[in-house]
């Protein structure tokens, strides 16, 4: 299992939301000293599979594999075993796949790691996509709960299933942290500094908000990758995180 982040830089997961390896390679080489992890999402997974992960591995960069598996338990546990066998140790599944699925994933992944003599992977549960708002939850998914209550319930399912943490916005993180505790990873999937656009996200948070809400890791994409000076953009976010961490300590 991965350790809790030790520095501000370690908390940043840069989204490699590109569809070709050449561009991904360029971003990794430029920014690997300024972020903690790189997120491999669906565009690279669909186009290149494990080749995208090998790119990070060969360049000494850490990977967060954003596969968001959501299927019947047997199918998802087989997929997760394949990830473990390919040395991918930080990935996610959808909690809405149900507790049978998430429990099967944890059991199978840990067994696979044990048989290989390696550390078990860190597996997070995706609660609700950051592009969803209350209207979508209520009118399309027919869920008669507010987002915070719904996400907290999913986080409890994740905890009971043995998952190592959840993917949730800072808006929900404070309550998750309070009710589930500190030994549970919270990753904020949509983080935008005040100086950047929210793009297609609905539930977005600043790096400062994320830290003060108890978030461990935060995904940042276009605010860095689309910046004229990517390194300077990353440095600004690191500064914001460091300031928030200091302020959080002073508030205790």
In the set 6, 9, 39, 68, the catalytic residue is: 68
Cα(114)–Cα(39) distance, integer angstroms: 25
Q: For residue 140, give every residue at least 6 positions away whose Cβ sits within 8 Å of its Cβ, in sequence order, or none.
A: none
CB 90 within 8 A of CB 113: no
- For the question of residue 68 being annotated catalytic, the response is yes
Counting DSSP H helices and E strands in the chain, the numbers are 11, 8
CB 23 within 8 A of CB 52: no
Q: For residue 177, give every residue at least 6 positions away whose Cβ sits within 8 Å of its Cβ, in sequence order, or none.
A: 184, 186, 213, 214
Cα(32)–Cα(62) distance, integer angstroms: 9
**CA-wise closest residue to 43 among 59, 62, 31, 27:** 27
Q: For residue 138, give every residue at least 6 positions away whose Cβ sits within 8 Å of its Cβ, in sequence order, or none.
A: 144
Beta bridge partners of 91: 65, 123
CB 247 within 8 A of CB 212: yes
CB 64 within 8 A of CB 122: no
Return the ∠ at Cα 248 (arms to 244 and 252), rounded to 5°. 170
Residues recognised as catalytic: 68
């Amino acid at each position: 299992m991965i350790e809790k982040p030790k520095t501000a830089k370690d908390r940043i997961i840069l989204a490699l939301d590109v569809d070709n390896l050449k561009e991904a390679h360029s971003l990794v080489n430029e920014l690997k000293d300024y972020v903690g992890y790189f997120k491999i999402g669906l565009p690279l997974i669909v186009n290149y599979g494990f080749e995208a992960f090998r790119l990070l591995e060969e360049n000494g960069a850490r990977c967060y594999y954003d596969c968001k598996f959501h299927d019947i338990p047997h199918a998802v546990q087989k997929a997760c075993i394949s990830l473990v066998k390919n040395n991918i140790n930080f990935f996610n599944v959808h909690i809405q796949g149900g507790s049978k699925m998430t429990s099967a994933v944890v059991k199978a992944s840990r067994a696979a790691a044990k048989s290989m003599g390696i550390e078990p992977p860190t597996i997070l549960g995706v609660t609700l996509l950051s592009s969803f708002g209350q209207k979508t939850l209520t009118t399309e998914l027919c869920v008669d709960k507010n987002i915070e209550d719904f996400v907290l319930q999913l986080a409890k399912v994740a905890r009971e299933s043995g998952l190592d943490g959840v993917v949730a916005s800072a808006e929900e993180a404070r309550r998750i942290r309070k009710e589930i505790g500190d030994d549970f990873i919270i990753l904020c999937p949509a983080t935008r500094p005040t100086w950047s656009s929210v793009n297609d996200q609905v539930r977005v948070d600043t790096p400062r908000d994320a830290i003060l809400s108890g978030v461990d890791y935060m995904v940042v994409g276009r605010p860095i990758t689309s910046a004229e000076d990517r390194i300077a953009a990353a440095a600004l976010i690191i500064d914001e995180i460091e300031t928030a961490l200091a302020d959080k300590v002073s508030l205790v």
